[in-house]
Chain A
Amino acid sequence: MIEFDEQERRMVLKLVYYGPALSGKTTNLLRLHDLLSREGRGELMMLDTTDDRTIFFDLLPFFLVAPSGLKIKVKVYTVPGQVKHDATRKAVLQRADGVAFIADSRMAEGGNNMASFDNLEKNLAYVGLDIDKLPLVIQFNKRDLPEVVKEEELRSTWEPTGIPVIMASALEGWGVVETFGTLAELVYANLDQRHHLGANHGLTQQEFVQRLTTRSNE
């Protein structure tokens, strides 16, 4: 039950898709499930919903084995975006190894994005995680819709923070795998510093990311 168990030779990673209500977190996971190869990927588990709104979380697990025999499980969770489910968000965010913040690109949603990001900062602090050290990417979703904030504007706002920014349309299926891949890269870099995945387990960053993001042939 620890992140890295030398005896059992396994490692469990937790990635969390965070963001305001209806920004497309579940849709991101659905697309990942559809787009990525079945190899090493578990089934998407959607816990009970009401009116198609997440009330607990969704879980998409991945499993891979490093050349050294180290078993690595990557569990990707979504949180419920609605304000009232804050207790659930805290529980899901606990022990996260990386966060993808899914923002809604529409102009009218700027306020909700900021509120949710503030909530993320607050809840990370609550569960004892440092937002400055945690791997974090931001996806501006729903680029297929009209009346979205211009890409240059978003980039000029967010890129100075050093947080990777990815444009996406989960509905159309683009930008989704890139978001996941970018987060995986950051998580690997973070882990490699502590556990030397490359040196001790023969798993390179490129290989790690590629194993997680192999597209389905179907």
Chain B
Amino acid sequence: MKRRPPFVVGAEKRLTDIIGTAEVTPLLLGAVKAGAASAAVLAPEGDVLWEAGKPCNPAETKGSIPIVLEGEPAGSLVVSGNGAGGDAVKGIAAITHTAVQTLVNASLKRILTTEIHTSVVNQSYKELLEINKSLSASEARYRELAATLEKKVEERTAELQRAHTRLLQQEKMASIGQLAAGMAHEINNPLGFITSNIHSLQKYTARFILMLDYYSSLLASDPACERLARLSARKWEELKLDSICADIDDLIGQSLEGAERIRKIVSDLKGFSHVDDTSEGIVDLNAEIDRTLSVLEHRFPEGTDIVKNYRELPGFRCNPAVVCQLFVNIVENAIEARGKGLRLMISTFVNHTAITVSFADNGPGIPEDMRTRIFEPFFTTKEVGSGTGMGLAVVHEIVTGYEGTVEVTCPAAGGTIVTVSLPLQRKNDVALL
């Protein structure tokens, strides 16, 4: 038999749970005073619960009147006389029974009322405690919200500014990329026939020279043509054909070299803008740094010395156009930091968790009071109109996008070192570009 929880209200009760000696005894004494010899209330099993007058003989329950509790006989009243006056005793018994029964009913009602009232109060109290608990929690949450609201707004604003920066930079790079792609196409066409024609010209001039040599050897071998040979030699000298013949190869070779350089510049520009690939791939960061340097080469001040200290790097999963933006912004800063005699040392290395790239220049360094602000978008030390204030903000944005860190230090010896660290394993996919 599965036990069920006790009733919250209306549990089964015995007569002794409902009424007590203090209430019943006066009624029984009243019966005795009115003339009964004894009066008693018996339990259903016959035991005497309360009595007055002469001791009651439980065996003599003749004429007992049942006392009903919730419809069930829960005991009985026994009133006995002194032998005479049976009717009077009956009357006394009837009155006493009514009194006891009324007492039982009233007490039960009072007990039930108390039970339900207590239960409701307890439950309401429990609910109030719970409500209070959740209200307190919610109040605490709102207090915290109010306290941190300002900070949150600042954070969000900074986030928005960074997103804005990123968009601006992306748009800029996209238009440069399109321009570069268009130009590359336009330049490559004429460059093609220039290169091809120079090659032909090289062949043709070689034949002319062979023919001239042939003529002079013929003239020299025939004594009859001695006069002709002398005239020709004089003209040859007059026209400085000796040095011209010697120079032609150099001229053509240099032209071909120049054309090759144009081809390489165009190809680098195209590659740098990555117009052809905008998706993530496995990239060699050393190669991307080189690509960036070749595109910026024309802007290096006189006497620039680039020192490359590369270690072999594992492939880094990223969008190559984005890392080129990253490097171009750092190198541009170095270029602008120093006029003549820029010395830029670029080092790369890898440990088991991250790739680190550092750019150390010999510029004037960054004043200490500005160092905390350099990653803010639109913060610039340049004159109005000359800088966007986006350079290091973009660097920061890209690096944090790859879950990396960027650090700018200015050693006492001078110069600025920008160190970028990019983890090989990332928690999230990058939303850049």
Contacts and interface: CB of A to CB of B under 8 A. Distances in A.
Interface of A: 1-4, 6, 10, 12, 14, 40-43, 45, 47-48, 56-57, 59, 61-63, 71, 73, 75, 77, 87-88, 90-92, 94-95
B9 A43 contact: no
Interface stretch (B56-64, B66-74, B134-142, B375-383): B66-74
A5 to B, nearest CB: 9
A45 B71 CA distance: 11
B4 A3 contact: yes
A159 B109 CA distance: 38
B263 to A, nearest CB: 81
Interface of B: 1, 3-12, 68-72, 105, 108-109, 112-113, 116-117, 119-120, 123-124, 127
Nearest to B116: A56
A56 B113 contact: yes
Contacts of A71: 72
A88 B120 contact: yes
Nearest to A3: B4
Contacts of A14: 7, 10
> Which of B7, B71, B108, B112 gathers most chain A CB within 10 Å?
B71
Contacts of A91: 8-9, 116, 119-120, 123
20 contacts: A1-B11, A3-B4, A4-B1, A14-B10, A40-B71, A42-B72, A45-B109, A45-B112, A56-B112, A56-B116, A57-B9, A61-B71, A63-B71, A73-B71, A75-B70, A87-B124, A91-B9, A92-B9, A94-B5, A95-B4
B72 A47 contact: no
Contacts of B8: 91, 94-95
A2 B112 CA distance: 18
Contacts of A59: 10, 70, 112
Contacts of A88: 116, 120
B4 A2 contact: yes
A83 B119 CA distance: 17
Given A45-B108, A95-B4, A77 B10 contact: yes
B193 to A, nearest CB: 88
A157 to B, nearest CB: 34
Q: 8 smallest A-B Cβ distances: which pairs?
A: A42-B71, A61-B70, A63-B71, A63-B72, A91-B119, A87-B120, A61-B71, A87-B123
Contacts of B7: 1, 14, 94-95
A158 to B, nearest CB: 30
A2 B12 CA distance: 9
A90 B123 CA distance: 9
A73 B72 contact: yes
B260 to A, nearest CB: 85
Contacts of B117: 56
Contact of A63 (B6, B70, B105, B112): B70
A73 B116 contact: no
Given A59-B10, A77-B10, A94-B8, A47 B116 contact: yes
Given A43-B71, A57-B116, A88-B120, 10 more contacts: A1-B11, A2-B4, A42-B69, A42-B72, A43-B105, A45-B109, A56-B117, A61-B70, A71-B72, A91-B120
A45 B116 contact: no
Contact of B70 (A2, A6, A42, A47): A42
> Which of B3, B6, B8, B124 gathers most chain A CB within 10 Å?
B8
Contacts of B6: 1
Nearest to B112: A47
Nearest to A93: B8
A73 B119 contact: no
A48 B4 CA distance: 29
Contact of A73 (B3, B4, B70, B108): B70
A181 B5 CA distance: 27
A47 B109 contact: yes
B113 A47 contact: yes
Nearest to B101: A43
A75 B3 contact: no
A36 to B, nearest CB: 11
Contacts of A63: 70-72
A87 B8 CA distance: 12
Contacts of A77: 10
Nearest to B71: A42
A77 B72 CA distance: 17
B250 to A, nearest CB: 100
Given A1-B12, A12-B12, A92 B116 contact: yes
Contacts of A6: 1
Given A41-B71, A61-B70, A73-B71, A95 B5 contact: yes
Contacts of A1: 6-7, 11-12
A126 B108 CA distance: 27
A42 B1 contact: no
Contacts of A43: 71, 105
> Which of A4, A12, A62, A94 gathers most chain B CB within 10 Å?
A94
B10 A75 contact: yes
A134 B108 CA distance: 28
Contacts of B9: 57, 91-92, 94
Given A2-B4, A47-B109, A62 B71 contact: yes
Nearest to A43: B105
Nearest to B7: A95
